[in-house]
């Protein structure tokens, strides 16, 4: 089907819904790199006006138009016609207006989560300004639970990310304690390993388990290795709280990560059968990011933001505890600068929340991007207004393993004190018990941690 719009006597045409979505996307380098963007600002607005008039029902067809794509199949399988019924007669533009209407509540928005598809959600986000993305996301409360409760209204959680370039056990432990002393880690204490071997996976899980049990922290830990490594480690009884995997929006893009949906099923069953989590807990953790599909040449000529939202269909199939977009990590060829990173993060957060995900953001950038820590300050602040579930923090914003900049533990405290966003209630109570942030703190200082905590020697 051909779509068109007339502006000032000029007719713009797009041969498919996929093209229309791409040309309606706010400017970003990844779509330019892929040759999928509008020719200029006027064509983009023409596409946005055209998109606003498309009925939501049009998105129930195969928008990607790729045979045998298992993410597409999953999207069809997830679609709940009953949940869709309240909005089934709306166009994309009317859907935006309905969400922004003050009489539409968070409960109304939660009720349609399984009625909307990723392509519908991506489409409406393209005609929403930053303020709209914040306002609607702020209405939606997505609560998940393991040892701590994440996503409660008015709270903001953090992932404490104690990475070390050599996966040194004590280096990881010291960095984790640095964050705990600053009150971060209520979403998860999560390490990106430098290596991906089973013995290292088990060792690092044991380090994190030692810290958690000795300090009796109401949180969970996670090693962000490959899902296949996690499965092997669990076979050897590694103390795995959460299984992690990076996921993307097409079969081919997931193959680029070396992952299939049956592998995720197997990992879910394995971690569930460990029985470490209280009944009814959420036990998976996923990361995503715009540009992942394009970088694997697996975007099938779909714009990077719509591909990103398709990844959320994969994530939500597993009712995860945590999902975050690693928004600025991929580099300036996908998101050039602070403006593009901020816009993409707000899109990802909004789209994830509308699909029912506990959406967090790795507020980050690389040194070759046109961005700096001040852009991250702005992004953190607007995400807090939008009610972000969690953000990632490291010592002094400097991730010494992944060589990029994310937020610091201090930044979490800035939001806590300036916008009154405490961490998860269980963790806040633990902080009080331990005197975190007071002169009477009961956990060892960095200087004393090696002597006072039972930690591995290497």
Binding site for another protein (CB under 8 A): 29, 32-33, 162, 164, 168, 170-171, 174-175, 178, 181-182, 332-333, 336, 366-368, 370, 372-373, 394-398, 400, 403, 405, 408-410, 413-414, 417, 436-437, 439, 441, 445-448, 450
| Least Å from the CB of residue 407 to another protein | 11
Q: What share of the chain is helix, strand, coil (3-state, %, to 5)?
A: 45, 10, 40
Q: Which residues contact 82 (CB under 8 A, 6 or more apart)?
A: 115
Which one, 107 or 403, has the nearer CB to another protein? 403
Residue 194: CB minimum distance to another protein, A? 11
Least separation in angstroms between residue 364's CB and another protein is: 13
CA angle 148, 241, 402 (to 5 degrees): 95
Nearer to another protein, 260 or 413 (CB): 413
Q: How far is CA 374 from the centre of its chain?
A: 21
Q: Answer yes or no: are the C-beta atoms of 92 and 56 closer than 8 Å.
A: yes
Q: How far apart are CA 18 and CA 66, in angstroms?
A: 11
Contact assessment for residue 253 and residue 307, using Cβ atoms and an 8 Å cutoff? yes
Distance CA 353, CA 348 (A): 8
Q: How far is the CB of 414 from another protein (least distance, A)?
A: 7
**CB closer to another protein out of 6 and 372:** 372
3-class DSSP state for residue 284?
strand
Sign of the CA dihedral running 297, 298, 301, 302: negative
| CA contacts within 13 A on the Cβ side of 319 | 11
| Dihedral of alpha carbons 145, 427, 419, 398, sign | negative
Q: Is 190 helix (H, G, I), strand (E, B) or coil?
A: strand
Shortest distance, position 171 Cβ to another protein, whole Å: 4
Least distance in Å: CB of 336 to another protein?
A: 5
Considering beta carbons, is residue 332 or 352 the nearer one to another protein? 332
β-strands 284-288, 322-325: how paired? parallel
Minimum CB separation of residue 47 from another protein in Å reads: 22
Whether the Cβ atoms of residue 223 and residue 432 lie closer than 8 Å to each other? no
Q: Which is nearer to another protein, 175 or 282 (CB)?
A: 175
Q: How far is the CB of 402 from another protein (least distance, A)?
A: 10
Q: 3-class secondary structure for 151-177?
A: CCCCCCEEEECCCCCCCCHHHHHHHHH
Tokens of 294: 């394009």
The structure tokens 């929006």 sit at 249
What are the beta bridge partners of residue 12? 5
Q: How far is the CB of 161 from another protein (least distance, A)?
A: 10
Name which of 20 and 294 has its Cβ closer to another protein: 294
């Amino acid at each position: 089907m051909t779509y068109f719009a007339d502006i000032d006597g000029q007719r713009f045409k797009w041969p498919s819904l996929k093209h229309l979505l791409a040309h309606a996307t706010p400017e970003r380098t990844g779509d330019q790199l892929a040759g999928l963007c509008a020719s200029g600002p006027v064509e983009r607005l023409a596409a946005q006006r055209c998109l606003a008039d498309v009925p939501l029902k049009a998105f129930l067809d195969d928008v990607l138009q790729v045979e045998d794509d298992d993410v597409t199949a999953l999207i069809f399988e997830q679609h709940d016609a009953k949940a869709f019924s309240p909005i089934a007669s709306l166009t994309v533009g009317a859907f935006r207006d309905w969400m922004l209407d003050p009489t539409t509540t968070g409960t109304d928005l939660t009720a349609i989560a399984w009625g909307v598809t990723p392509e519908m959600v991506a489409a409406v986000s393209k005609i929403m300004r930053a303020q709209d993305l914040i306002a609607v996301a702020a209405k939606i409360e997505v609560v998940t639970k393991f040892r701590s409760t994440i996503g409660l209204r008015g709270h903001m959680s953090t992932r404490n990310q104690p990475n070390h370039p050599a996966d040194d056990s004590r280096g990881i432990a010291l960095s984790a304690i640095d964050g705990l002393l600053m009150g971060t880690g209520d979403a998860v204490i999560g390490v990106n390993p430098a290596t991906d071997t089973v013995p290292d996976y088990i060792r690092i899980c044991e380090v994190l388990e030692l810290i958690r049990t000795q300090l009796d922290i109401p949180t969970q830990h996670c090693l962000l290795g490959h899902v296949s490594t996690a499965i092997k480690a669990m076979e050897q009884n590694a103390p795995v709280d959460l299984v992690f995997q990076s996921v993307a929006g097409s079969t081919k893009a997931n193959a680029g990560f070396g992952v299939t949906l049956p592998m995720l099923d197997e990992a879910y069953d394995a971690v569930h059968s460990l029985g470490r989590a209280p009944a009814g807990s959420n036990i998976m953790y996923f990361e995503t990011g715009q540009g992942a599909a394009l970088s694997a040449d697996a975007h099938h000529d779909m714009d990077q933001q719509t591909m990103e939202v398709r990844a959320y269909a994969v994530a939500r199939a597993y009712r995860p505890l945590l999902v975050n977009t690693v928004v600025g990590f991929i580099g300036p060829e996908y998101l050039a600068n602070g403006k593009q990173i901020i816009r993409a993060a707000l899109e990802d957060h909004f789209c994830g929340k509308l699909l029912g995900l506990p959406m967090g953001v790795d507020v980050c950038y690389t040194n070759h991007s046109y961005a700096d820590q001040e852009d991250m300050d702005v992004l953190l602040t607007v995400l807090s207004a939008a009610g972000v579930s969690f953000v990632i923090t490291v010592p002094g914003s400097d991730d010494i393993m992944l060589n990029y900049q994310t937020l610091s533990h201090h930044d979490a405290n800035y939001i806590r004190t300036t916008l009154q966003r405490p961490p998860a209630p269980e963790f806040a109570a633990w902080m009080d018990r331990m005197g975190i942030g007071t002169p009477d703190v009961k956990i060892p200082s960095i200087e004393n941690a090696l002597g006072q905590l039972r930690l591995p020697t290497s």
